[in-house]
Amino acid sequence: MPWRNKEASSPSSANPSPEALQSPSSRGNMADKLKDPNTLGFLEAAVKISHTSPDIPAEVQRSVKEHIMRHTRLQRQTTEPASSTRHTSFKRHLPRQMHVSSVDYGNELPPAAEQPTSIGRIKPELYKQKSVEGDDAKTEAKTCGKINFSLRYDYENETLIVRILKAFDLPAKDFCGSSDPYVKIYLLPDRKCKLQTRVHRKTLNPTFDENFHFPVPYEELADRKLHLSVFDFDRFSRHDMIGEVILDNLFEASDLSQETSIWKDIQYATSESVDLGEIMFSLCYLPTAGRLTLTVIKCRNLKAMDITGYSDPYVKVSLLCDGRRLKKKKTTIKKNTLNPVYNEAIIFDIPPENMDQVSLLISVMDYDRVGHNEIIGVCRVGISAEGLGRDHWNEMLAYPRKPIAHWHSLVEWQGRAASFDSESSCPSPRPPPTP
């Protein structure tokens, strides 16, 4: 190599004196040597060994360092794999995430840079965890004592006999530290037939021991609910509601052939719950195709929204992701009925990796030709839902390619109806025509 020949021919050049290094002629010779390509290649190799060599000028070190950094940036470029076009519209709404572990940093970086630290990063899963002790305290705060009652069916007279026995540990509603409790009894969905006990003065542990008869055929008992509302009587103002008990399944304790005593916790409530009805639908997910099918089967005992005593219901299903609505689809409208039958399928394309980020909001609406459509009730299913909504979703994921059907009770919508049904950013299509 040239530099070896020069070193062998002049040994004194290997160890120059300080005076020689400081002379202008020596600096000029050094600059001429650096212009030689062979010398630059040697210096580039030398930089990897020692970045602080006194024999190399600072401008040469900077040029070599920039060349190495450009080579490193080329190695860092990566290309995302092409995704399915069918899920493009769904993924467009999802927040773009950067996966640091998938980037190749090359061999020239130190090993510490290949293992990014997690210090300072937010972990969303920590905020989704629920404390068991917090749930227990929340449940205890919602209870307002207990109530004891019994059920029996009289087959001969086709009558359900409800016997209110007693209540225990009721909260005090009066200034004297006591209450004047009584109980209202409904057999839902019929609210016209309302029965109630006598008022018991100044007690938190009343004993009622009263019987109430509801004429109802035995075959209809499976579709009925028992609703008990506990009130505090007030002579000069509106009666205060203490709480309520709703028994969804009348056959929960026995077949009603014999009188069976039941104890229930009284749940806190400020007003009587209104029965909005129920909806039955099935869920089916195909992981290989990334397709979720919700089949709206039917509704029953919907709340009457028109002055005629009926409603014009249709069902709207919204696909939600992180609180935002991505898509919505609707069924046809059924005129003048409180028990519509649909049997209509609604399909959403959702990739398997995004199933834990989405949920479905099912809304039963009353169509109005003149004004705004009103919300009768809603229910929600998804991994973040509560109660039956979460259980139905998990059952669907546990049994893929199999339709799973359940009845869901409708609850009141807590948001603004106008913003829910018609949004400026996502204009709602017009309701489907009447069949």
pLDDT in tens, 255-288: 888 888 899 999 887 666 667 889 999 999 999 9
Answer for the pair 17, 37: CB distance below 8 angstroms, yes or no: no
Domain count, the chain: 2
Q: Is the pLDDT at 112 greater than 50, yes or no?
A: no
Question: What is the pLDDT, as a whole number, of residue 161?
Answer: 92
Predicted pLDDT at 127: 53
Residues 258 and 291 in one domain: no
Instruction: Please indicate, yes or no, if residue 118 is contained in any of the structural domains.
Output: no
- Which are the contacts of 358, defined by CB distance < 8 A and separation ≥ 6? 319, 320, 321, 326, 350, 382
> For residues 266 and 245, is the Cβ–Cβ distance under 8 A?
yes
pLDDT at 416 over 50: no
Q: What is the pLDDT of residues 151-179, one digit of tens each?
A: 999 998 999 999 999 999 898 887 788 88
- Evaluate whether residue 420 is within a structural domain: no
In a domain, 259, yes or no: yes
Q: Is residue 17's pLDDT more than 80?
A: no
Contact 432, 315 (CB under 8 A): no
Residue 302 within any structural domain of the chain: yes
Higher pLDDT, 296 or 78: 296
Tell me if the bond preceding 189 is cis, omega within 30° of 0: yes
DSSP, res 411: B
Same domain, 251 and 192: yes
Verify that 252 and 323 share a domain, yes or no.
no
d(CA 159, CA 220): 11
Structural domain of 234: 143-266
What integer pLDDT is reported at residue 25 of this predicted model? 53
Nearest to 346 by CA among 403, 410, 421, 414: 403
pTM metric for this prediction:
0.47
Percent of the residues in the chain that have a pLDDT greater than 90, as a whole number:
33
Structure tokens at 93: 């709404």
**Residue 16 pLDDT:** 52
Same domain? 212 vs 308: no
> What pLDDT is recorded for position 329?
95
Is pLDDT above 60 for 38? no
The pLDDT assigned to 102 comes to 41
Q: Are residues 289 and 395 in the same domain?
A: yes
pLDDT at 224: 86
Which of 266, 288, 323 is a domain's end point? Answer: 266
Q: What is the pLDDT of residues 340-379, one digit of tens each?
A: 999 999 999 999 999 999 999 999 999 988 878 999 999 9
Domain boundary pick from 266, 286, 307? 266
In a shared domain, residues 151 and 255: yes
> CATH number of the domain that 386 lies in?
2.60.40.150
Domain shared by 285 and 345, yes or no: yes
Is residue 427 domain-resident? Answer: no
Q: Cβ contacts of residue 143 below 8 Å, gap of 6+?
A: 243, 265, 266, 267, 268
Same domain, yes or no: 288 and 315: yes
